[in-house]
């Protein structure tokens, strides 16, 4: 069991990385008027067959070989459904996968969103061969971080160099603060 939604996101994004994705899009959307916190993770990786898709929500299904149990997707699904939310996976072999989880924002059983910025920062700096498009939206105020834009500016300066890594951290913190005014999610 994870203690923060942001840790589920980190875990699920690792599935996209293993699926050979070149671009991973992560969206966090908070809508207080709909009482909803929506997480969408989309990748352009290898996708899943209908058979795999059917079994991926089963804890006793995994593609890894060290152990015959995979709890990442079941954890995420359980976390969403326990808040009267919803959970959906769409996947096409060869073109990618999208996971959508909706949480009841004020539901008593919703775990905190947690440190999303740390999840995004970790993903970007440890997987510099992959592009990330992160969108954070709070009641319609939103910001994005697109590593493709960053790369254009940076040329051959790597995303995980200390200066750029620090910049990414500040970029995320400052822009999230501007979007949600420090609202505790």
Partner 1 sequence: MKSLEELKAIREKMQGQIGIRNESSDQTRVVVGMATCGIASGARPVLTALSDAVQTKGLANVSVTQTGCIGLCQYEPIVEIYEPGKDKVTYIKMTPEKAQEVVEQHLIRGHIIQKYTIAEVLG
User: Which residues contribute to the site for partner 1 (CB under 8 A)?
Assistant: 1-3, 7, 10-11, 14, 18, 64, 66-67, 70-72, 75, 115, 118-119, 121-122, 125-126, 143, 149-150, 153-158, 161-165, 167, 170-171, 174-175, 178
b or e along 124-149 (b: 16 or more beta carbons within 10 Å of the residue's beta carbon)? bbebeebbbbbebbbeeebbebebee
- Minimum distance, C-beta of residue 171 to partner 1, in the bound complex (Å): 5
Compare residues 55 and 157 and give the one whose CB is closer to partner 1. 157
Name the minimum Å distance from CB 35 to partner 1: 27
In the complex with partner 1, the residue whose CB is nearer, 33 or 163, is 163
Using only C-alpha atoms, the chain has a radius of gyration, in whole angstroms, of 16
Instruction: Report in angstroms how near the CB of residue 91 gets to partner 1 at its nearest.
Output: 19
| DSSP character string of 37-59 | EEEEEEE-S----HHHHHHTTST
Nearer to partner 1, 23 or 154 (CB): 154
**What minimum distance in Å lies between the beta carbon of 170 and partner 1?**
6
Report the alpha-carbon angle 54-27-117, nearest 5: 115
Question: 35 vs 57, which CB is nearer to partner 1?
Answer: 57
Q: Do you know the residue count of the chain?
A: 185
Residue 78 burial (C-beta neighbours within 10 Å; 0-12, 13-18, 19+)? middle
Q: Rounded to an integer, what distance in angstroms lies between the CA atom of residue 19 and that of residue 53?
A: 14
**Which C-beta is closer to partner 1: that of 108 or that of 153?**
153
Q: How far is the CB of 64 from partner 1 (least distance, A)?
A: 6
């Amino acid at each position: 069991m994870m203690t923060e939604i942001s840790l589920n996101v980190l875990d699920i994004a690792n599935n996209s990385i293993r699926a050979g994705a070149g671009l991973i899009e992560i969206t966090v959307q908070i809508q207080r008027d709909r009482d909803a916190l929506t997480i969408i993770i989309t990748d352009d990786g290898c996708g899943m067959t209908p058979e795999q898709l059917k079994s991926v929500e089963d804890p006793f299904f995994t593609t890894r070989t060290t152990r015959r149990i995979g709890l990442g997707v079941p954890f995420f699904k359980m976390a969403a459904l326990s808040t009267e939310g919803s959970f959906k996976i769409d996947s096409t072999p060869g073109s990618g996968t999208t996971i959508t989880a909706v949480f009841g924002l004020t539901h008593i059983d919703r775990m905190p969103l947690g440190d999303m910025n740390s999840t995004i920062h970790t993903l970007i700096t440890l997987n510099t061969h992959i592009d990330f498009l992160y969108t954070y939206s709070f009641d319609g105020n939103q910001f994005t971080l697109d590593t493709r834009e960053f790369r254009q500016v940076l040329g051959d300066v790597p995303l995980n160099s200390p200066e750029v890594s620090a910049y990414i951290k500040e970029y995320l913190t400052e822009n999230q603060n501007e979007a949600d005014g420090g609202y505790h999610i």
